[in-house]
Structure 1
Amino acid sequence: MSIEQLPTYFLSHGGGPWSYVEEPRRKNYVNLERFLVELRPEMRSPVRAVLIISGHWEERGFAISSAAQPGMVFDYSGFPDYLYHIRYAAPGSPEIAARVLRLLAAGGMAARLDGERGYDHGTFSLMKVLAPDENVPIVQLSIDVSMDPALHVQVGRLLAPLRREGVLIIGSGFSYHNFAIRDARAAPISQHFDAWLQHVLVQTEPAERTERLIRWEDAPYARDAHAREEHLIPLMVAVGAAEDEPGACVYHETAFLQFVTASSFRFGSPRTGAAM
């Protein structure tokens, strides 16, 4: 089936199960939530499923969630008890999972189906706002423990055909992620790294963009912004799947959780009629 080509996204997904938290904590996410509400039109036809590459799922090789009704993965700590009993009930899609497996296998990638994997907060924190009716099928794809940027760009290239098959590709991570630096020191670090991201993703020609992303450790404050890069690697997949297309910043704030500059990006043209 060939239909309108969908864009891809790299979305900064916020902290833990934020989209389920009650006030007063919820106010910390007002800008992120507003952006995701505005993005909801992307969940409508011709979207028939969402593929999320989550920075919270690491494997040797690549694993693809294939359960028809995935459960939940509560991969966070320090939250109130009720946040360990929440449920995001969107269906999975064994059909789309099998398609992802075929695309990766055809490109020589080590990949397997995982019928047990549930939704981690890199998925349900976003989707609770993006698709509150819980009716859009979701498949998750792990990242490889190597954290090899070039490998994940290539995975994106292999998955690009999904964009014409009604599958919306979302890399879920965060533009800044370092638990050790979350106070005022994070402000200049995240600002400088975010400025680099903006230049590379939005202002740089696609071919050069890929090369610079693969060398992301050369960026200002790279290892301060991402002491470990699992929250950045999903970006590589999103870019690889729309490698020859322009990037745009679609969410940006300079005081996320008081000190952090945070951004999200779209690659490719927005859908006709989508509210962006």
Structure 2
Amino acid sequence: MTHDNTTANNASRLPTYFISHGGGPWPWMKKEMGPTYDQLAASLADMPRQIGRTPSAILMVSAHWEAPAFTVQGNPKPPMIYDYGGFPAHTYEVHYDSPGSPELAQRVQSLIAAAGLPVQIDPERGYDHGMFAPMAAMYPKADVPVVQLSLRRGLDPAEHLALGRALAPLRDENVLIVGSGLSYHNLRNFGPQAHGVSKAFDDWLDEAVVKSSAGERSAQLLDWDSAPAARMAHPREEHLIPLMVAVGAAEAEAGERVYHEDAFMGGLVVSSFRFGA
């Protein structure tokens, strides 16, 4: 991976993504889940085609890792973190064995530090399911290095937009930035009864990140909890905040909805988005 000072043209710049990553170890539960995840799996599997080339590495910001400072995974061979409960026994033995990248971790640390944001490297951290579940669909051979980056406790939207801006140079270095969360995440209100509130928030989200101008988009995201059904969709916002990073890293560029389903898990309206390129 290189990071010289040459200015890459937009054709060589990778997009950024905010993906809905689904629940727990779903790629390893096809027998139990049937067609539930077929549309999401297809959208994730299509990402390499959309990108048009293989990234040198992926920087994954997962909703399932929060730390006092932005923390970069420095482990060259990250182990698995089975951060879910109540799933079949075999899902606690699954492996997604992509390599880490200490080199990318150092680069990420330097970019974040240069922006004046608190940052550290964790040399031991493993992969959580916010990473390995979608990656199993995106790159099933586990042949692309992946580095995870934490959210920062407090979940301040402005701070995570600023994080994205700091990371933007990676897009010209063949590093794919992916925010991994869920556009709707209220575990106490799932299924058909949640259709109305998930649709209200998803409609706002599409308007804010796809149909608004770039400047308006950031302003609306800073005020996301004023959106229709916002706190019904996200009683706690850790599954939304990765979106801020993806947007911040492509702040002046267009957004597009690349996955949309209106009856996910029996009735939820959910989406994923791509920014730039």
Q: What range is the shorter-chain TM-score in?
A: over 0.9
1:183: Cα distance to partner? 3.1
Q: Residue 100 of structure 2: SS of its match in structure 1?
A: coil
Alpha-carbon distance, 1:212 to partner: 0.5
In structure 1, the residue matched to 2:182 is 174
Q: Residue 43 of structure 1 contacts residue 136 of structure 1 at CA under 8 Å; is this kept in 2?
A: no
1:189 correspondence with 2:184? no
Are positions 1:157 and 2:165 aligned together? yes
- Count residues with an aligned counterpart: 269
Structure 1 residue identity aligned to 2:30: E
Note the C-alpha offset of 1:14. 0.5
What is aligned with 2:48? 40
Written as runs of structure 1 = structure 2, the 5 A alignment for 1:8-87 is 8-41=16-49, 45=53, 47-87=55-95
CA shift, 1:176, in A, is: 0.1
What SS does the corresponding residue of 1:194 show, helix, strand or coil?
helix
Aligned partner of 2:223: which letter?
A: R
C-alpha separation in 1, matches of 2:96 and 2:54 = 22
Instruction: Specify every segment of 5 or more residues in structure 1 that has no aligned partner in the other structure, as ranges.
Output: 270-276
Question: Quick one: distance in 2 between partners of 1:55 and 1:46?
Answer: 24
Percent identical pairs in the alignment equals 48
**Is 1:73–1:119's contact at 8 Å kept on the other side of the alignment?**
yes
Runs of 4+ aligned structure 1 residues displaced above 6 Å come to none
**In the alignment, which of 148, 152, 155 is matched to residue 147 of structure 1?**
155
- Computed over aligned residues only, the root mean square deviation of the Cα atoms, in angstroms, reads 1.2
* One-letter amino acid of the structure 2 residue matched with residue 39 of structure 1: M
Deviation track 1:141-168 (CA, whole Å, cap 9, x = no partner) reads 0001111000000000000000000100
What TM-score results when the alignment is normalised by the length of structure 2? Answer: 0.95
Q: 1:129 aligns with which of 137, 140, 158?
A: 137
| CA distance in structure 2 between the aligned counterparts of 1:197 and 1:113, rounded to whole angstroms | 32
Structure 2 counterpart SS, 1:27: coil
- Identify the residue that residue 264 of structure 1 maps to in structure 2: 272
Q: CA offset at residue 94 of structure 1?
A: 0.3
Conservation of the 8 A alpha-carbon contact between 2:48 and 2:54: no
Q: Which amino acid aligns with 1:19?
A: P
Q: Calculate the TM-score normalised by the size of structure 1.
A: 0.95
What is the alpha-carbon distance in structure 1 between the residues aligned to residue 182 and residue 137 of structure 2?
17
**Cα-to-partner distance string for 1:176-233 (whole Å, 9 max, x where unaligned):** 0000111332100000000000100110000011000000001000000000000000
Moved more, 43-52 or 141-150: 43-52
- Is the 8 Å Cα contact of residues 63 and 114 (structure 1) preserved in structure 2? yes
- Pairing 1:160-239 to 2, within 5 Å after superposition: 160-239=168-247
